[in-house]
Amino acid sequence: MAIVSNTVGYLDGDVLLEAFFAFDDALTGRRPAVLINHTWAGRDDFVAEKAKKIAALGYVAFAVDMYGKGVLGTTVEENAKLMQPFMDDRHSLAKRMQAALYAVKLLPWVDDSKVAAMGFCFGGLCALDLARTGASLKGVVSFHGLLGAPDNTQGNCIKAKVLVLHGHDDPMGPVEQVIAFEQEMTKAGVDWQLHTFGNTMHAFTNPVANNPDFGTVFQPDADRRSWLLMENFLTEIFA
């Protein structure tokens, strides 16, 4: 195994974005690709490490950039300022995700008929919203993602299978939102799963998350279990 990684520029309109990609150079031929969507902080080392782990599974990993080349938040206030325009304009969010989908399909190692998307926190919402547009995806995975639906995708045919990995005690995903999401997916005829982890807050996959007052706490059991569920899901959708 020889994991190769690098960055690649791509555009959404006139905005220059920079993805981080990784793949196993010991494998030959085209292979499935997984878009990896970052938290509200931006395309940082957290998703780069996840990309390398995805590459080790035999896929091309493509860590999406939602904010622009080199743009990262360093405080809660900066993160919120970066994320909020996309929460206010979900059409722009979907457009930026579609730019990433187009870019990953151009990579020479990618089987462009087999693409999935995953994401963490804000990135979970990004992956779900790309599926909601009706994009040709095999599946999407949301880790402690925001679940609220946009108001411009009702009636779209969602082609992707959906896996949501959720903390029961996540203050950013209250029970009412979870139920609404389940109803949304069921009404749309989606092949969906939602796995809820008990005694688990938001950001449960992030080892540095330790702010119970804010609702973000690392939970190693949920982290491990959720990754295994994702691995099985990817094996299924790419079969």
Give the domain CATH number at 218. 3.40.50.1820
Contact predicate 110/104, CB 8 Å: yes
Q: What is the pLDDT of residue 78?
A: 98
Joined together, the tokens standing for residue 27 give: 């494998």
Q: What is the pLDDT of residue 1?
A: 76
State pTM to two decimals. 0.97
Checking if the pLDDT of 5 tops 90, the result is yes
Contact predicate 178/147, CB 8 Å: yes
* Span 122-177, pLDDT tens digits: 999 999 999 999 999 999 999 999 999 999 898 899 999 999 999 999 999 999 99
* Span 20-71, pLDDT tens digits: 999 999 999 999 999 999 999 999 999 999 999 999 999 999 999 999 999 9
Q: What is the pLDDT of residue 8?
A: 98
Q: What is the DSSP letter of 119?
A: E
Q: What is the pLDDT of residue 28?
A: 94
Q: What is the pLDDT of residue 2?
A: 92
Residue-number span of the structural domain to which 220 is assigned: 3-237
> Angle at the Cα of 182 (from 150 to 166), degrees rounded to 5?
90
Q: What is the mean pLDDT of residues 79-89?
A: 98
Contact predicate 108/23, CB 8 Å: no
Count: domains in the chain: 1
Mean pLDDT of the chain: 97
The set of long-range contacts for 152-158, using a CB threshold of 8 Å and a minimum separation of 24, is: 152/90, 152/91, 153/90, 153/94, 153/129, 156/132, 156/188, 157/188, 158/131, 158/132, 158/134, 158/185, 158/188, 158/189, 158/190
Q: How far apart are CA 153 and CA 150, in angstroms?
A: 6
Residue 219: pLDDT band with limits 50, 70, 90: very high
